[in-house]
Amino acid sequence: MKAKTTKVPAVAALMSGLLLAGCGGGGAQEPAASASGARSDTLKVNWGGFPDSWAPGAEMEAGYLRVPYETLVALDGQGRISPVLATAWRQTGKALTLTLRENVVFHDGAPFDAEAVKVNLESVREGRTAFAGPLKVIESIDVVDARTVRLNLSSPTPSLLTTLTTRVAPMASPRAIEAGTVAQTPAGTGPWAYDPASSTPGTRMSFTYFPKYWGGEQSVGFKTIELYAIPDDNAASGALAGGEIDISDLDPATLERIKGTPGIRSVAYPAIRNNPMFFDRGPGGVFADVNVRRAACHALDTGVVTKLEPDFKARPQHFAEGETGYNAAVTGYPHDLEKAKQLYARAGSPPVRIDVIAAPYNQKQLNVYASQLGELGMQVKVQVAPPPQYNSTWNGGRYALGLGSNDELTAFDWYKAWFAADAPGNPSGTESPELKAAAGKAIAAGTSPEAARLWGEVTRVISDEALTCGHLAGEELVVWQSQRVDGVKAPTQPWETNMVNYRDLKPKGA
């Protein structure tokens, strides 16, 4: 499933098959490895397009973010918090104190220290994306000393460390953030630094090994990672089969056409959770009446979408069994057009005439939903826009209804990103007393045995109020040429699209 969040249209040349070998650039590049498996220290990766912005807090997918950037902590294969830029931590109900790694510098020479952490977290928290929501619990940040930073919390937040493993908080150079250059010139602490001289705007972004990387050269298998922008699956599969790239995401149908190519391997992993959101639910809004929202939810038939996109699975709620926030009593809104009509009539059948914005990768799904809501009497017009425009507007309040990915790992993050009164993903600013009370109890429970049940109650209220519905979970399909690359597997960081564990990858035979 190619449900993207950060694609920029590539130049037309990328669609022609002339795209990679011989691409120009300021620096000399090693030729693409041949399909016969010639060894190369350059890994060529296609995720379909480049982020509109590389700034922390921007909606960039993990496959981009985790090349130049690192997070303070990470999740290992067993889901445990492990050190990265923070080597130790101590959390209470009032604060999270982090001890930072020594001798770390950003790619532009700025030191990584407590002040840099403060600048990064504050810039995300004060931003306008959904990533800001979970960080609003941080009331203030104290720079205790260069190696120690204390995050002072407005309430107990045991999930904060998990949040810091995700796309919410990559660490970028404070110089680049303050200068505004980070949006187009990423500068992190990772093993690979952006090399504009060896890059071609709109076509290729080259990242070369950073000699001052704290982990040392032995920590990586490839010295250079080149990211390409090939949005068309047919072109990408041709480049993969022809040895012009090493790794790409593809849809299942396209993979079938190149499966016979020697060395082609694939892995699928759960990476996408999406659902429509009713944004205009404040007083006077078209979705202010809970029965209008419930009617819309019963009118939606996610089964139609799963037939169009076989790697999508319908679910009654955001969280899966075993995750905090899951509530076995929540059954969702099964497709029932008659019940939908009854609920709509109960609300007085108010006129609903709205525009929604789609990107090319979710246009098909939104067209299905528009047609199904039309059976109820609602008029929904789908506007298709380039991904950068879609990403910056779909949940900003301009549209009454939106469809996008929700990759939050914790119930606290999901609530704070989309449903709390001050959530960036809740432009209406509306929150019912029942939801606020349920969330307050869950937050106050901290790490007690009662907390999981209380977060499940938050999920129940969100479902009962039909703030969202139509939950789908999809897979990311990563395809690679095993004659050139070893070590590809599903990433350890859950629910991240376009992702491989780059440091695990090595040239074939290395």
- pLDDT tens track for 98-157: 999 999 999 999 999 999 999 999 999 999 888 999 999 999 999 999 999 999 999 889
Instruction: Assess whether pLDDT exceeds 80 at residue 8.
Output: no
User: Exposed, middle or buried by CB within 10 Å (0-12, 13-18, 19+), for 260?
Assistant: exposed
User: Is 354:373 a contact under the CB 8 Å cutoff?
Assistant: no
Band of pLDDT at residue 59, cut at 50, 70 and 90: confident
Cα distances (angstroms) measured from residue 30 to each of 38, 39, 42, 206? 12, 11, 7, 12
Instruction: Tell which CATH architecture fits domain 270-473.
Output: Roll (3.10)
Band of pLDDT at residue 199, cut at 50, 70 and 90: very high
Instruction: Assess whether pLDDT exceeds 80 at residue 249.
Output: yes
The DSSP call for residue 110 is: P
Three-state DSSP class for residue 313: strand
Give ∠ CA 42-45-48 in degrees, rounded to 5.
155
Smallest CA-to-CA distance from 372 within 385, 361, 382 is with 382
- Rounded Cα distance between 507 and 510, Å, is 5
User: Is 130:418 a contact under the CB 8 Å cutoff?
Assistant: yes
> What pLDDT digit, counting tens, does each position of 372-403 carry?
999 999 999 999 998 778 877 899 899 999 99
CATH 3.10.105.10 placement within the chain: 270-473
Structure token pair of residue 249 = 């995401």
Average pLDDT over residues 189-198: 98
Average pLDDT over residues 73-82: 92
> What pLDDT digit, counting tens, does each position of 415-445 carry?
999 999 999 999 999 999 999 999 999 999 9
- CA 328 from chain centre, in angstroms, equals 26
The CATH number fitting domain 1-67+190-263+482-510, selected from 3.30.450.40, 1.10.268.10, 3.40.190.10, 3.60.140.10: 3.40.190.10
- pTM, whole model, 2 decimals? 0.86
Beta bridge partners of residue 46, listed in sequence order:
228, 248
CATH 3.40.190.10 placement within the chain: 1-67+190-263+482-510
Strand ranges inside 32-173, DSSP E = 42-46, 73-75, 81-83, 86-91, 95-100, 138-145, 148-153
Alpha-carbon torsion, ordered 220, 222, 228, 232, to 10 deg: -90
Three-state DSSP class for residue 502: helix
- Rounded Cα distance between 303 and 174, Å, is 47
Smallest CA-to-CA distance from 103 within 159, 147, 158, 58 is with 147
Can you say whether the dihedral through the CA atoms of 399, 402, 408, 410 is positive or negative?
Answer: positive
Is it true that domain 69-187 has CATH number 1.10.3720.10?
no
- Rounded Cα distance between 15 and 70, Å, is 32
Report, in angstroms and rounded to the nearest whole number, the Rg of the chain calculated over CA atoms: 23
Report strand pairing: 313-315 vs 471-481: antiparallel
CATH 3.90.76.10 placement within the chain: 69-187
The single residue listed with the structure tokens 């004659």 is 483
pLDDT of residue 39: 61
Q: Which residue has the higher pLDDT, 65 or 359?
A: 65
Smallest CA-to-CA distance from 212 within 192, 227, 232 is with 192
